[in-house]
Amino acid sequence: MSEDTADAGFARLLRELKDRSGLSYGTLAKRLHMSTSTLHRYCIGDVVPADYAPVERLARLCKASPEELVELHRAWVLADANRPRKGGEPGGRTPGAEAPAETLPAESQDPADPAEPLVEPAGPSGPPTPNGRRRIRTAVLVGIAVAVVAGAVALIAYLPTRDGDVRERPAGAASLADGAGRRTDGGTTGASEAARPGASPSPSDSAPAAGTAPTASTAPTASPSPAGRGGDTASGTPVKVTTQPYTWETPCDQHYLIERPPAQVSPPPLERDAPAWVGAVGAVSAGGQYVTLTLQGTGKDTVVLESLTVRMAGKRAPLAWNDYAMGYPGVGCGAGVPTRSFTVALDAVRPAVVPEAGQPNFPFKVSESEPEVFYVKADASAYDVSWYLELAWSSGSRHGTVTIDNSGKPFRTSGHNGRPGYEFPLGGDGWVPAGTTS
């Protein structure tokens, strides 16, 4: 699929939803908390949103069906994958390449809603000043000094002593190729935890020992992605997995346990801001966790997704923390079950990924032009569970396993039965005990 076709198909779906809603660009933009001009540029194909969250909110606001949500997500994945990178290759838009702001249709003009800048203005260009040259020289000299010191430390660490033995390496100088490190939750992993990406591939010929997490692959790993977008697999694996660990089936169903009193907890966030909010308040998904996985082939060959398996990294008594609900009392919630939906009963002795009633089960096929989106809902009531997923894949004579977790750490979901509950009234200024609002 060409870049033009991918962008045009995505924009067409947005326009169809917008037109069907009967709402103007200005009205939709206000409800989505974005500028009118930005929404219009999305719908005419000038700009592809950097995140899927605003697209999903627009679709739900326009009452898209579960099938339409899946089709729209696939179209966004393809359009996002075809962004031109620096130098012209697909993958990311070149800074400044966005189309200039255009004149909006008369029905979408809104003087009170100024255009939202999409690209930071570039600084003034010109020859470097003397101060600039001094800063550059200083940075170079500092870099050289650091390299010399690091080399000296490494040399001293490995110099033989008078007895002919090799000195022990100083604490903290362990190599990434060292033996198993320790997880914070008591499990083990074959490489340093800091070196594990959000989804780490492991070759099939190095199966992990029972009770341990799989060893990280020696293939080059991807840099951690922005909060909320999850991690991507290493470039050597033919399937790319993007993980969104804090999506919401509906706001009314989403709860978090937090070890803080209500006065110290900020108001419930929008779904797109949930990852940052969770990190700021130290929240743990309560009762259930809704994880969205986007899977796409990275080359010309089709990849068969053989199975998705749950692995347990820890199971403890549920957290005795306060329970905070994300939905606003009195505001209706409802959503259909999207295709490719699965459930996981974390309280079971051997949790398994089970398709929702009427949904297809593995295997699935993906390619560069035909991605898949999986929705995994993990439920817990009797335990505080740390867990992750393993995706088995094959492509021709190649096969392997991809570990899917929360940016190098296990997902964590705790039961919340009997915990003190709080809700945030719409228009209110603080959390109140659950059930006390009218």
- Predicted confidence at residue 23, as pLDDT, reads 86
Of residues 140 and 321, the one with the higher pLDDT is 321
User: How far is residue 119's CA from residue 273's CA, in Å, rounded to a whole number?
Assistant: 20
Cα atoms in the 13 Å half-sphere on the side-chain side of 14: 31
For residue 212, pLDDT over 90 is answered with no
Q: What are the CA-CA distances from residue 268 to residues 28, 301, 431 (Å)?
A: 22, 43, 9
pLDDT at 372: 93
Structure tokens at 382: 């009797």
Q: How big is the CA angle at 323 (ends 420 and 277), to the nearest 5 degrees?
A: 150
Question: What pLDDT does 179 receive?
Answer: 35
Where does the pLDDT of residue 112 fall: very low under 50, low under 70, confident under 90, or very high at 90 and above? Answer: very low
Return phi, psi of residue 370, to 5°: -130, 80
Give the per-residue pLDDT at 363.
95
Position 7 scores a pLDDT of 74
Collect all residues with Cβ–Cβ distance below 8 Å to 151 and sequence separation of at least 6: none
Q: Which of the four pLDDT bands, split at 50, 70 and 90, describes residue 334?
A: low
pLDDT at 379: 95
Residue 105 has pLDDT above 70, yes or no: no
Greatest mean pLDDT among 134-143, 156-165, 254-263, 325-334: 254-263
pLDDT of residue 335: 54
Give me the pLDDT at residue 224, please: 37
For residue 272, give the 3-state DSSP assignment. helix
- Enter the pTM of the model: 0.53
pLDDT at 373: 94
Distance CA 424, CA 277 (A): 15
Q: 57-89, pLDDT tens digit by residue?
A: 888 888 888 888 888 888 888 888 876 654 454
Residue 438: predicted pLDDT: 53
What pLDDT band is residue 331 in, cutting at 50, 70 and 90? Answer: low
Mean pLDDT rounded to a whole number for the chain: 73
Burial of residue 348 (number of CB atoms within 10 Å: 0-12, 13-18, 19+): exposed
Query: Domains (ranges, CATH) in the chain?
Result: 3-94 (1.10.260.40), 183-433 (no CATH)
Average pLDDT over residues 243-267: 91
Helix (DSSP H) and strand (DSSP E) numbers for the chain: 7, 18
